Chains A and B, each alone.
Chain A
């Protein structure tokens, strides 16, 4: 689906006085309707108090009735400084997340805020057969280990 990116600079005071950029997406000819929809799990987790519902026009909309919403989370204090995100949701599914506020003292966050890029990407799960040194996965039992890629890697090196 074609999406236009519109970047609006938002000044947010931080400890260092750094101005951060926040970007948000909208669809062509989208109509905005502000309202208070029922609180979803995502909103309550983010502590949102207001929501903006974006209704898609027929020319651009996918054949769905689930509205796309953006939710601004509260500024969450972390050890690096305050963090605030804007989440775009369709139902419970997260379409996009942008940072409204990131601490400048945190190198990784600074990098992200300088990019002013969306903070999440989604892709289809792939089943790859790749050369690896080690395997990270949900805790396996001793029995599970015996059948795992990790066991194969270990035995290849001890053989």
Chain B
């Protein structure tokens, strides 16, 4: 609740965006900042949800709103999406839902930045926490993670990468401070990521994890690499990204840049 309460180890979980968002703060901080963070997440839902007809992104997708009249937030996210589309040779595309080859699915809009917007929203939330004096925190929204500082002196945040088939196991553990970790994969929602180049579900690999200071781009890159499938590892390496790809046959291919974060 809002107020001037200061808390030393704070955890709050809310169901939002069709998933759960967990916030943990290790600093003594004014916990009204947590209200602001979750208020921001609700605002992001109001603007970017493709599950509701009244959001700005849905109105843009239907052509009821022109891009020039869109909010700066929407234009910023779409610019980032365009960057990932260009860098991935079209493996990431916000307009995949408008492709007549693609099987319609609830929640897949004709203009759909869902592959990047969660990471972008978390990155903004991290900035908001820092402005409010919290520097040691972690936020997890449906498997995309942003970290600030450390959980304890000399300790990095230990981020487990979910094992693709065993719910209570991890495939690896990464140690990060002030970094984002994004994972795109097929395990929970099935083959929900579509290859914009073919209009078919991306099924080459099980999951892609990307570590980057900018979680918005990490989120987009993870989605693009999942679509690139067998070509994903080379593409991630070529972009100098710290990343791991888990293939269908149980092989983990990681880039050399990930070594700096590997704990086990």
Task: Give the residues in chain A near B254, CB-CB below 8 Å.
Answer: 120-121, 123
**Stretch from A2-10, A19-27, A53-61, A137-145 forming part of the interface with B:** A137-145
Interface residues of B in 6-21 (CB under 8 A from A): 9, 11, 13, 15, 18-20
Question: Contact check: which of B159, B164, B234 meets A132 at CB < 8 Å?
Answer: B159
Task: Give the residues in chain B near A78, CB-CB below 8 Å.
Answer: 87, 239
| Least distance between A136 CB and chain B CB atoms (Å) | 4
Task: Give the residues in chain A near B159, CB-CB below 8 Å.
Answer: 132-136
The reply to whether B251 and A142 contact each other, CB–CB distance below 8 Å, is no
Contact A85-B237, Cβ < 8 Å, known A122-B252, A136-B144: yes
The reply to whether B234 and A138 contact each other, CB–CB distance below 8 Å, is no
Quick one: closest A residue to B242, CB to CB? A108
Give the number of residues in B that approach A within 8 Å (Cβ atoms). 70
What is the bound-complex CA distance between A137 and B171, given in angstroms? Answer: 10
Counting contact residues on chain A (CB < 8 A from B), the size range is 35 or more
Could you tell me which A residues sit within 8 Å of B by CB distance?
41-42, 45-46, 73, 76, 78, 80, 83-85, 87, 92-94, 97, 99, 102, 106, 108-109, 111-112, 115, 117-142, 144-145, 147-151, 153-154, 157-158
Task: Give the residues in chain A near B199, CB-CB below 8 Å.
Answer: none
Task: Give the residues in chain B near A121, CB-CB below 8 Å.
Answer: 253-254, 256
The reply to whether A46 and B231 contact each other, CB–CB distance below 8 Å, is yes
The reply to whether A80 and B19 contact each other, CB–CB distance below 8 Å, is no
Is B143's CB within 8 Å of the partner chain A? Answer: yes
What is the bound-complex CA distance between A84 and B235, given in angstroms? Answer: 10
Return 9 A-B CB contacts under 8 Å, by A number: A97-B233, A127-B163, A128-B163, A130-B170, A130-B173, A134-B22, A134-B24, A135-B159, A142-B20
The reply to whether A134 and B157 contact each other, CB–CB distance below 8 Å, is yes
